[in-house]
Structure 1
Amino acid sequence: MYQPRIFQEHRPAVLHALMRDHPLATLITAGSGGLMANLLPFDLIETAGGDHLLRAHLARANPQIDDLRDSAEALVVFQGPAAYVTPAWYASKAAHGKVVPTWNYVTVQVRGRPRITDDPAWLSAQLTALTAAQETGRPQPWAMTDAPAGFIAAQMKGIVGLDIPIARIEGKWKVSQNRDRADRLGVIAGLGAEPGDDAAAMAALIEAPP
């Protein structure tokens, strides 16, 4: 990933927080059939030894499984808030006009060699953890035990499990760090008037980076 120094983010806690807050990520592989990409929800797991891995499942019929079984390096891209930035928000536009549009965004990229599993106990534990992470705090949280056991067992036959031990991780926080304070305040105000959660989230990141 293109990484100007001013936008680089290396702190594990910050990177991990984005991955947990935005678990739906793009899994990218390059196999004999060429590049392939799929969206999957991932769990970030800390191992007993203090390392981290990504855990997910995917449909058994998904042809990307062939690439994953080859154990070639995979890339997983997590995308956080993103927002278009118009030059009209910059104070410097009125001063000299030497400004152009851009996009602000935050992203994390993870690389590692995948491992596929068909173990029913592993799949049950992964599904339970993934469901709990999304359902906890809801007024009527759904659990796997709410569905008939036979139905769940049949569904599990159609999926395989995936672990990707994290070999490399990098983050990019492009949140107007390259603009002066007056321009940043203009972007914060502009985003504050825009609709959507991403605009509000990006304004907060510019105002108070992690």
Structure 2
Amino acid sequence: MPDFLLETEHGGRVAGVDEVGCGPLAGPVVAAAVVFSGGVPDDLATIIDDSKKLKATRREDIARRLKAVPGIEIGIGAASVAEILRLNILRAAHLAMRRAIDRLPALPVLALVDGNRKPPLGIPVRTLVGGDAISLSIAAASILAKVTRDRIMVRLDQRWPGYDWARNAGYGTSAHRTAITTRGCTPHHRRGFGTVRRQLALTFTHGDLA
């Protein structure tokens, strides 16, 4: 389980940063930055974990409780499908992280970032592979980013039904891939990603618009 040791050892305002949504075929990439300026309540410290290990209902409950923690600072940032196409997915994820940091009330003195690539955040960065299993701040950020992105995909599913985004969050499930083949691509599909790019190539080969 993640703990608060790295944040405590540093002694200043430390943000945990994580992104969600690098792998899907549709939708934005979303990042969150979290600063526990007053520490982590014990009841939350025992249940905060890597968002991928938690059920959706558990993530929603933790996200709601996180927002009520005294002194917590939360920043959410995103990069659009157009930015993903223009920048590539890694640089778009880093852009989302920078936007999340910039939406905090003040810049932290250090960012703990999940992964092994340092994003340009304008502040010192320490990367941690598997950071959402090490740092409570990163784990909290992963939960908030995941909950935010899932809600975005539910709203997009209502506007663009047929791709099962409310359940697959834009990932390349069998149902989603089949829908791309039979229904075509939407403006929210990542046109630089393989399955989407191949379908667009087939569509244009037949003289139709996506």
Q: TM-score range by the shorter chain?
A: under 0.3
**Greater radius of gyration (CA):** 1
TM-score normalised by length of structure 2: 0.26
Please state which structure has a larger fraction of its residues in strand.
1
